[in-house]
Amino acid sequence: MATHLDLEEQEQLDQLKAFWKQYGNAIVWLLTLVLAGFAAWNGWNWWQREQAVKAGAMFDELDRAVQAGEAARAAGVFKDMQERFPRTAFTQQGGLATARVQFEKGELDAAAATLGWVAEHAVEDEYKTVARLRLAGVLADQKKYDEALKQLDGASAKEFEALVADRRGDVLMAMGRKDEAKAAWQKAWSAMDAKVEYRRLIDAKLTAIGAAPAASAPAAGGAAR
């Protein structure tokens, strides 16, 4: 019995050796990749958290500069954030905040450059679209209407569809293209939730050019009463 078991164990051992000889390297490589991937994932998450903490501290400094109206200081902090943490949400927010104070100080070229960077480098479409919306406004103030429309063409976040159409109407009206402006404002009015207060402003723009939305006019039955 003992000899039989020894022979059976030896046979199993030989089979295991043959299996390992044939597939052992592949298994080792696979395990190595899995473990390396797991370690890299943990390392990436840790690095991301560290980046976010450091970027957050710099954003606080930038925000203080913005609140104080110090455009040059805000731009300096933003430049550091661009170089060190270009892909964090804090840097994208910092760019929008910096551009705002630059615009308020009349530094239109600087504001346009800052917004242009966010529009090109932001990770989320929402930030890109907000940057393009604001950049279109700055360019329109500079009478660079074609460039403004080009920025709006690239503003693709669905949540901002109504605002993009509204801004397009503003630019087109400034260009003297009234019919196209009306169509853009009508699109904005239709796309915007009726509960949003801003919709009344779009209504006013349409009314001013003789195209008041039908829904805003009093009902005939109500007028008869």
Closest CA to 161 of 118, 201, 132, 119: 132
| CA-angle at 153, arms to 214 and 127, nearest 5° | 100
Which CATH architecture describes the domain 54-156?
Alpha Horseshoe (1.25)
pLDDT at 42: 47
Q: Show the low-confidence residues of the chain (pLDDT under 50).
A: 1-2, 38-44, 216-225
pLDDT at 30: 56
pLDDT at 9: 62
204 within 8 A of 224, measured Cβ to Cβ: no
134 within 8 A of 155, measured Cβ to Cβ: no
What is the phi-psi region of residue 69: left when phi exceeds 0, alpha when psi lies from -120 to 50, beta otherwise? left
pLDDT tens for each residue of 104-159: 999 999 999 999 999 999 988 999 999 999 999 999 999 999 999 999 999 999 99
pLDDT at 53: 80
Cα 31 to Cα 105: distance, rounded to the nearest angstrom: 58
- What is the phi/psi pair of residue 124, to 5°? -90, 140
Cα 140 to Cα 146: distance, rounded to the nearest angstrom: 9
Taking only Cα atoms into account, the Rg of the chain, rounded to an integer number of angstroms, comes to 30
Q: What is the DSSP letter of 88?
A: S
Contacts of 140 (CB under 8 A, 6+ apart): 148, 170, 171, 174
pLDDT at 129: 95
Domains of the chain: which residue ranges?
54-156, 158-211
pLDDT at 88: 87
Tokens coding 205: 């723009």
206 within 8 A of 196, measured Cβ to Cβ: no
Contacts of 121 (CB under 8 A, 6+ apart): 82, 86, 87, 92
What is the phi-psi region of residue 193: left when phi exceeds 0, alpha when psi lies from -120 to 50, beta otherwise? beta
Cα 137 to Cα 193: distance, rounded to the nearest angstrom: 23
- At which residue do the structure tokens 């504001």 appear? 111
